Amino acid sequence: MNVKCEKCGHEGPKETFAYLYNIRLDDGMSWRECPKCHAMNWVTEADGGIADFAEHCKAFPIHSDKGVGVPSDRQGA
């Protein structure tokens, strides 16, 4: 399956985009690096689609120093 870089438009097999990491172990999304411009792309591992990271993360529960689902007292946390 092919992946297309959001930044430069380079398109190639998912395997040529270096796997960097995923945020959650139970999520099918991961960061992959474009071999041409080295931009990070948020990729759906199942189909190679590119997704909007900010939109995807809105569904995640809040994690803070007080626990999962509890907003932190700290600003910007």
DSSP-derived secondary structure for 25-64: TT-SEEEEE-TTT--EEEEETTT--B--HHHHHTTSPPEE
Cα–Cα distance for residue pair 10/3, rounded to 1 Å: 8
pLDDT per residue rounded down to tens, the chain (77 residues): 899 999 999 999 999 999 998 877 767 888 899 999 999 998 888 887 877 777 766 666 665 555 555 555 655 54
CB atoms within 10 A of CB 29: 18
Q: Answer yes or no: are the C-beta atoms of 41 and 31 closer than 8 Å.
A: yes
Specify the 3-state DSSP secondary structure of 15: helix
Q: Give pLDDT, residue 5.
A: 93
Q: Give pLDDT, residue 10.
A: 96
